A and B are shown apart, each in its own frame.
Chain A
Amino acid sequence: MIVIIDYGVGNVKSVTNAVRYIGCETKVSCDPVDIEAADGILLPGVGASGYAMEKLGPLADVICDIAKGGKPLLGVCVGYQILFDESHEYGVHKCLGLVEGKVIPIPVGRIIPHMGWNYVKFGEKMELFSGMGEGRHFAFAHSYYADITDPDAVVAYTDYDMDIAASVQKGNIFGCQFHPEKSGADGLEVLRNFEKFCKGVKC
């Protein structure tokens, strides 16, 4: 079972619709007992990172502990941005620190937000994209991006007149800047791959 963490930030319904559509057993919850019992955790979120961390409250430590313990975790959009050390959106906010890096504004000189479908090029090592070839289009909607410095992280990039990190994997920790739940058939495939990974790892 995958637990979708509902902490009052964003499009939990969209994520739940997509995960249920692929036939995955799921529970929307913010109860640490459910989170600890899950095969994997999905951390959604839209809006600002600082606000998301504030809403996450004591759950932040619960998530960190079990992710460090090896349970698969997938952060999406702001749920992805808070995986890093800190975010510079509306001030500097300490985040989960599961992947080294910081979240900073997309430089001006292009249309912002980065809104719409962009091509993501990924390597074979990234399990979220298993069986999907070299790259696909996914739906983005963000004004900040992660500058990833973690030597243990594998990163897939997209081109927006600069390289923007689109997805990260560090062992059992996954993140997508784009919205897999809103990226059509390819996005659903990413969620299926996450489910497969969760089923293969029992904690």
Chain B
Amino acid sequence: MLTKRIIPCLDVKDNRVVKGINFLNLRDAGDPVELGARYSNEGADELVFLDITATIRSNKTIIELVEKVAANVFIPFTVGGGITEPDQIGELLRSGADKCSINTAAVMNPQILAESAKRFGNQCVVLAIDARRTKGVKNKWHVTVKAGSEPTDIDAVDWARRAEDLGAGEILLTSMDADGTKAGFDIELTRAVAGAVDIPVIASGGAGSLESCYDVLADGNASAVLAASIFHYNEYTVKDVKDYLASRGVAMRPVD
């Protein structure tokens, strides 16, 4: 049986892992090479590295950093932040990434999903959606771009469906309202998107309690949970999360 995945996320700025609340008020959370190796050894199922300054397209140092992190990570490794061309995906894969996440560039030019899937396979193409609840409308979310700073009028559920048709192999779905708050995932958002597509959905934004991780997997139908703060600041280990979820009947890859 396929297990649900626990995915620590490294938000990287100036070669350091940082974490903010609702994408703002960043504080330092450690060294990406060290944290990556630690999570890989501690039983994380995947690792995500997001260059939050979106400088992958122009920054050689980010590529070098990806290489250094990848050298000690023996679990699937996704890299994103500022990817605008399929060629950059090729470069990141050569640097040790296994998958790449695309966000703003896909909204601006959806064909990048199709082109990337054709070249590298759809299992390699992750569409990242930063969704925000639309005020005054129940259970409706719109897509935001440029690290959540610019709203669009695109419906998040429609966009997920379209991205799947274009060739995305997975959706990394972040609730902008919940991100960094540790107040729990947006279960309704996750359920709406997971119900609209047949590709895996990674729930992100709001991981705080063990219960919230259970809820978004069991009720939100997510294939994976992504979390940052709870791991970086040692509130829970990957093993804590997995043991708890397994005790509640969620299929997990056990940690030794």
Q: Verify if B103 is at the interface (C-beta below 8 Å from A).
A: no
Q: Contacts of B120 on A, CB cut-off 8 Å?
A: 10, 46-47
Write the nearest CB–CB distance from A73 to chain B, whole angstroms.
22
* A85-105 interface code vs B (CB 8 A; 1 in, 0 out): 000000000000000000000
| Most chain A CB within a 10 A radius of its CB, from B1, B40, B74, B99 | B74
Q: Verify if B43 is at the interface (C-beta below 8 Å from A).
A: yes
| Most chain B CB within a 10 A radius of its CB, from A141, A142, A143, A182 | A141
- Residues A113 and B3 in contact, CB atoms below 8 Å apart: no
A183 to B199, CA, bound (A): 21
Q: Verify if A61 is at the interface (C-beta below 8 Å from B).
A: no
Q: Contacts of A47 on B, CB cut-off 8 Å?
A: 119-121, 124
Q: Contacts of A39 on B, CB cut-off 8 Å?
A: none
- Residues B76 and A141 in contact, CB atoms below 8 Å apart: yes
Contact A118 to B170, CB < 8 A, known contacts A14-B96, A113-B199, A184-B40:
no
- Residues A14 and B3 in contact, CB atoms below 8 Å apart: no
Q: Contacts of B123 on A, CB cut-off 8 Å?
A: 46, 113, 115, 141-143
- Residues A119 and B75 in contact, CB atoms below 8 Å apart: no
For residues 1 through 39 of chain B, which have their beta carbon under 8 Å from a beta carbon of chain A?
1-5
Q: Verify if A13 is at the interface (C-beta below 8 Å from B).
A: yes
* B86-112 interface code vs A (CB 8 A; 1 in, 0 out): 000000011111110000000000000
Interface residue total, chain A, C-beta cutoff 8 A: 39
- Residues A116 and B45 in contact, CB atoms below 8 Å apart: yes
Q: Verify if B174 is at the interface (C-beta below 8 Å from A).
A: no
| Most chain B CB within a 10 A radius of its CB, from A117, A137, A142, A181 | A117
Q: Verify if B253 is at the interface (C-beta below 8 Å from A).
A: yes
Q: Verify if A66 is at the interface (C-beta below 8 Å from B).
A: no
Write the nearest CB–CB distance from B245 to chain A, whole angstroms.
13
Write the nearest CB–CB distance from A39 to chain B, whole angstroms.
23
- Residues B75 and A182 in contact, CB atoms below 8 Å apart: yes
- Residues A13 and B5 in contact, CB atoms below 8 Å apart: no
- Residues B3 and A116 in contact, CB atoms below 8 Å apart: yes
Chain B: interface size category: 35 or more
What is the predominant secondary structure among interface residues of chain B facing chain A?
Answer: loop
Checking A119, A137, A179, A185 against B76 with a beta-carbon cut-off of 8 angstroms, the contacting residue is A179
- Residues B121 and A115 in contact, CB atoms below 8 Å apart: no
- Residues A182 and B122 in contact, CB atoms below 8 Å apart: no
Smallest Cβ-Cβ distance to B121: which chain A residue: A47
* B169-181 interface code vs A (CB 8 A; 1 in, 0 out): 1100000000000
* A24-53 interface code vs B (CB 8 A; 1 in, 0 out): 000000000000000000000011100000
Q: Contacts of A185 on B, CB cut-off 8 Å?
A: 74, 256
Write the nearest CB–CB distance from A84 to chain B, whole angstroms.
17
- Residues A187 and B74 in contact, CB atoms below 8 Å apart: yes
Checking B77, B122, B199, B253 against A14 with a beta-carbon cut-off of 8 angstroms, the contacting residue is B77
- Residues B70 and A17 in contact, CB atoms below 8 Å apart: yes
A188 to B3, CA, bound (A): 20
- Residues B122 and A143 in contact, CB atoms below 8 Å apart: yes
Q: Contacts of A159 on B, CB cut-off 8 Å?
A: 1
- Residues B74 and A113 in contact, CB atoms below 8 Å apart: no
Checking B40, B96, B124 against A46 with a beta-carbon cut-off of 8 angstroms, the contacting residue is B124
Q: Contacts of A182 on B, CB cut-off 8 Å?
A: 74-77, 98
Smallest Cβ-Cβ distance to B1: which chain A residue: A159
- Residues B74 and A188 in contact, CB atoms below 8 Å apart: yes
A-B contacts, 6 listed (Cβ < 8 Å)? A11-B97, A112-B198, A116-B3, A141-B169, A142-B123, A179-B98
- Mark A residues whose CB is within 8 Å of B: 10-14, 17-18, 21, 46-48, 78, 108, 110-119, 137, 139-143, 159-160, 179, 181-185, 187-188
Instruction: Given contact pairs A47-B119, A137-B254, A139-B46, enumerate 17 new A-B contacts (beta carbons under 8 Å).
Output: A13-B67, A14-B98, A46-B124, A47-B124, A48-B121, A111-B2, A111-B198, A115-B169, A115-B170, A116-B200, A141-B124, A143-B122, A182-B74, A182-B76, A182-B98, A184-B43, A188-B74
- Mark B residues whose CB is within 8 Å of A: 1-5, 40, 43, 45-46, 67, 70-71, 74-77, 93-99, 119-124, 169-170, 198-200, 223-224, 253-254, 256
Nearest 7 pairs of A and B residues by beta carbon: A47-B121, A141-B123, A137-B253, A117-B253, A13-B96, A113-B123, A118-B2
